[in-house]
Each structure stands twice: as C-alpha cells, then as structure tokens.
Amino acid sequence: MDRLDNTVRPYAWGSTTAIPELLGTKPTGEPQAEMWMGAHPGAPSRTGRGTLAEVIDADPERELGPLAVAKFGPRLPFLLKLLAAGAPLSLQVHPDLRQAQEGYEDEERRGVPVDAPHRNYKDANHKPELICALTEFDGLCGFRSPDEAAGLLDGLGVASLKPYVDLLHAHPEEAALREVLTAILAADPEEMSHTVTEATAACTRLGGAYAPYADIAHHYPGDPGVIAAMLLNHVRLQPGEALFLGAGVPHAYLNGLGVEIMANSDNVLRCGLTPKHVDIPELLRIVRFEAGDPGVLRPEASPDGEEVYETPTDEFRLSRYVLPAGGASHDLTLPLPQILLCTAGTVRAGEHELAPGRSVFVPAGETAEVSGAGTVFRATVRL
C-alpha cells in the first residue's frame, strides 16, 4: 500500500484552523478548505511511485482490480476529502448522470471552453456526495415544505417578502417551490439587495431558527441566495452523523469539519451565495422541487466492527472502524481499490502508522490489516 501525500486547497470559505488542528500542524493564517485524497487530475495525491493518477494509469487492472475496471473504467471513480468550512459554501445542486452527459455534450458541441466561467459541465459524470461530520457540522439540505418556508419568511415581517409567502401558499408543492425560487433568482438585483438587508436585520434580531441565515447574510450581504437558503432545511450534524446529497437536491455546507466522498466530477450548478456564474434556466432544469426530511444518516454496524454509511451510489462506499485500545486487528483486504484515512488516535495500516489526517492507498487485492487505537475511514467502491 502507498502512503499518500495530499494537497490542501485554499478556497476562501475554508477554516484557517480545523485541518491544521487535525493534522497537528501550525496554522498558516490562510484558509485551508479541502484536503483531496485520490486521483482527480486537479490535485492527485502523491505516492512514492508518482502521483496516484500516474500509478493507476500505468496499470489500471493491477491497482483497481478487474471488477472495478469492468464497471467504472480505468480510473478511480471516487474522490475522498477532508472538508473544513469556516464560512458558507455556495448554494448548489448536481446533475444526474443523464443530465451531465447531455449538458456536457451540448457545451462541447457549442464550443464552450472547459475553463470558461460560464461553463456548467466540466465532465460527463454525475456527482453524488456524502459528508460525514467529524465535529458539529451545519448545512442546508433539500426543501422545507412550502407552508414551513412561508411561515419562516412571514415571521421576518419584511413587506417585500409577502409575494413569496403568497406564492408558497397558493400552489401545490412542486409549483410553489419552483415559482418562488425562480422569482428570487430573477428579481431586480437592487430591489433584492434591499430585501436581503431588511431580512438580515430581522434574522439578527430574532435569532433562534433565524440565526443561521443571519450568519449566511454576514458572509454574503445582499445576495439573493440568503432568501433562497430560507427555503431549505437547516441541519446540524453531530460527529459521526452524515448527509447524502443526491442529484437535484439543493444544498450548502455552512460550518464544520467532515469527511466527504463523491463521484469523481466537477459538475456544479449554483443557486446563490457566490460571485460565480448562475445559469438560472439550466439550474431550474436540474433542481428537484420536492420537500422532505434531509435524512440524517447514522452508520450501520456489522459484526466485524465495520460501520457503513449506506447510500444508493456505486461509485463510492464509505465506512469507518472505531478501534479500541488493545482490540483485535481487522483484515480489510478487498479485490477493490481502497483509501484508508485516520481521523483520531493512531492506527497502523500494514507497515504504515497513521496519525490523524494521514492516509494510504490500498491497491485491489493487496493485504490491508489495520490495528491500533483510533478511528479509520475506509473509502472504496460498491459492486
């Protein structure tokens, strides 16, 4: 197995302290948002044999195993991350596989440069993802019911929000949510900025259920995404709890440290809380206007000590082992590729000793025995 040397991405929303604290390193004062573990071309992990992308490209069947190559092709189909949000990320959705393929082919046909700021589809893949909290973790996930969203907006006492409240009450669920999100994103920017300013003052004054939106507005003053965010469920995960984000589900991470795993894609359509491009017609084609419980996941324990976060996605499977001091070792050998990440204590993986934030890549079929006292996350694929 290969010890991984991973890149930390300095996105502006990142925490300046969370990843350094986990790694036991000194903060630089700059945001450290994500640490990537995998073979994504944007920042592939480094090994003693070259980058992980180079290692896999040299012999996909040996590294990934024939079963994974037959199903996903000669590439690692997932990307594992440490994600540390110190400020809200953009409000966003991801396409399903068919939508991603159609969108990518359309933009390729029209000659839109892949690095153009208005490009929606960087690749032809979908991007389901799972976030598992390591600390208390705040996020937004999926729509509230129209009645609940109307009550939250109405409670602010802002006159310019009244048309949205009326729309939420006047239509069936899907039509109500679609019409209100469309109206928010298409509103006159100057008028919306005034509305957001009034709403922010009310959120700050009222606190309680409104406190998360006051914080969002602090980071994105005047952004229509502040109002759009109030249509969504606010979720606070406790350590060990997780959220699965499927296609078309609007979401945003607000604050906290977690382990994230996703299909290897960069396809994001933004709804707000961002200075980046917002393609309203394409966004409305992708969003699923369905209200519901965000569905907090808790791991399901198996007799061998593996705790699995069950999702409907084949490109990744995330689980963890919480190893007690003096406990037995666990044989994690699989005919599939794996990344093992330590998040607490000290874990031995093969010949490698892993402190928090350290990881290894295990080629398919390679012996993978773990022991020690700590927590190790296991990322692989599902067949």
Distances (CA, A) of 285 to 29, 107, 256, 279, 322: 40, 16, 30, 10, 42
Instruction: Please report where in the chains the tokens 């948002």 appear, as a residue.
Output: 33
Residues with active-site annotation: 270
Asked if residues 244 and 18 have their Cβ atoms less than 8 Å apart, the reply is no
Q: Which structure tokens are listed for 253?
A: 């991470």
Side-chain-facing half-sphere of 116: CA atoms under 13 Å: 11
Within 8 A by CB and 6+ apart from 306, the residues are 319, 320, 321, 330, 378
DSSP class of residue 210? G
DSSP class of residue 94? -
Within 8 A by CB and 6+ apart from 319, the residues are 299, 306, 307, 308, 309, 377, 378
Strands of 203-267, DSSP E: 232-237, 242-245, 251-263
Q: Which structure tokens are listed for 65?
A: 């195993």
Q: State the Rg of the chain over Cα.
A: 22
Cα 286 to its chain centre, rounded Å, is 17
* CA–CA–CA angle 348, 351, 353 (5° rounding): 35
Nearest Cα to Cα of residue 45 among 83, 79, 6: 6
The Cα 233–Cα 323 span in angstroms is 34
Side-chain-facing half-sphere of 76: CA atoms under 13 Å: 32
* Stated length of the chain: 383
Nearest Cα to Cα of residue 93 among 252, 219, 225: 252
